[in-house]
Amino acid sequence: MTTESIILSAYIISLSILFFFGAHGFNMIYYYFKTFPMRTKDLPENEFQMKEYPVVTVQIPLYNEKYVITRLIDSVLRMDYPKDKLEMQILDDSTDETTGIIEDHIKKFIDLGYDIKHIHRTNREGFKAGALKIGLETARGEFVAVFDADFIPRKKFLKRTIPYFYKFDKLGLVQTRWEHLNREYSLMTKTQAIALDGHFVIEQAVRNRAGFFINFNGTGGIWRKECIFDAGNWEADTLTEDLDLSYRAQMKGWKFIYLINFTSPAELPADIGALKSQQFRWTKGAIETAKKIFPKVLKSDLPLKLKIQSFIHLYSNLAYPFILLAAILNLPVMLIKLSGNYDTIFKFMSVFIFAFISSFLFYLYSQKDVYPDWQKRIIYFPVFLAGSMGFSVNNTKAVFEGLLDKKSEFVRTPKYHIRGKEDSWHGKKYVNKKLSFTTYIEAFLAVYCFVGVVIAVATAQVAAIPFQLMFCSGFSLISYLSIRQVVISNRINAQKLALNAE
């Protein structure tokens, strides 16, 4: 094979795999309309009334969350639920002043008779999964709600979720939709909201209505404790312990319900370093879980349709290495096209545009379904698409670490109590202050793809220009934000050191 044919073959393989995962959006839209009459599984208002309430344990796993933890504690204690039936477990693995802040804050509530257990570990064995598992050993509740530190559960959360367990047989989990507290904070948070809405408004809801497996999202949900134990309890051999337990539970016959009309508000990452660590953990953990769980799915007697859906659900992050490969090959492919020797192949490549149409429709309906002002929101879709391309370096590294079984610690996503534009992450304790190696690659690819834009314009390859622009914009945006964060953080640190020296 010639060098040109090797490049073209690799390019076509990349686009084919991206088309496979991208076109899945059409499948979701098909089931969206097919199951629309079942859009909500909300109980009638009269069925939310209960004569007796069960004991519930609210678990709060955290690690170094000094800025947001008291906000969450207060919101849990404000829940409309009998005090004697509510237990709070603060599963604290912190190594900084967060532990002292918690102790000072809960003392007055304990004196008032609230059942609050502050369980502080001196090691992070098992990370979040380990903390949740230890908490379960002493949890009083028949049901266990889990909230990460950046959430503010609604007052009616328990009264709007508990009744489902008495209505449906073998119900193991009720998951609520995430709502975004600081969506309007910046371009980055607006774009994140688009991405998450695709998952929470379309993917989770449609999968649940169509009878496919869904996943607990790690927070904003409530489990029947018996289900957790029956499924094998929390396990720490992946970074997505929530996805892992979800599949094990559903494969044992437990049912899940997803509520799209009842939300749990949460804070989106406001700085690029936090977002990168979150995306890395989610991507790597999903691949680890896929390797662990999918062979069991294949060997099971589940219907073929469910097995195919599970494969796409678990392995969708495999798209990232091929996004990166397509970005690298775009420029040489344009140069090959100038030879005029492969016109038939290039005409065939136009079919891959349908994957982008699929993606657009997927996110369009995620906005139209729940937001009256969806037109103002969907305009950020191009930024989301470019950002997804820009994240391909960060997430490709995560994919390969997951495939190669390279173990790493659970790096939590720090939050800074950011709601409005008057708030800022600048100068906060947990902000990343070092450039990672991936940032240098992202910056290089930004320049590389800009060269591709110039060549595409100079040679009048009109079809290539939008793709080169998106890749260039994506890598430029991610590398710029990463460098900017480090520069700002180090400048503030230098100013603090100078003041202390005085």
**Rounded CA separation 202/34 (Å):** 13
Q: Are 87 and 140 in contact (CB under 8 A)?
A: yes
Please name the residue that has the structure tokens 């720490």: 236
Find the catalytic residue in 92, 150, 197, 242. 242
CA distance readout (Å), 339 to 194, 343, 351: 40, 9, 22
Residue 406 tokens read as 């390279």
CA angle (191, 196, 198) in 5-degree steps: 100
How long is the chain? 502
- The identity of residue 460, as a single letter, is A
A 10 A CB-CB count for 278 gives: 17
- Decide: helix, strand or coil at residue 164: helix
List, in order, residues 6 or more apart from 448 with CB less than 8 Å away: 328, 331
- 242 part of the active site: yes
Residue 90 tokens read as 């603060």
Residue 396 tokens read as 């490709």
A 10 A CB-CB count for 140 gives: 15
> Would you report the helix, strand and coil content of the chain in percent, each value rounded to 5?
60, 10, 30
**Rounded CA separation 18/158 (Å):** 41
**Rounded CA separation 394/374 (Å):** 30
Find the catalytic residue in 93, 150, 244, 271. 93
A 10 A CB-CB count for 186 gives: 17
Q: Are 67 and 415 in contact (CB under 8 A)?
A: yes
Q: Are 245 and 216 in contact (CB under 8 A)?
A: yes
Q: Are 147 and 153 in contact (CB under 8 A)?
A: yes
Active site residues: 93, 242
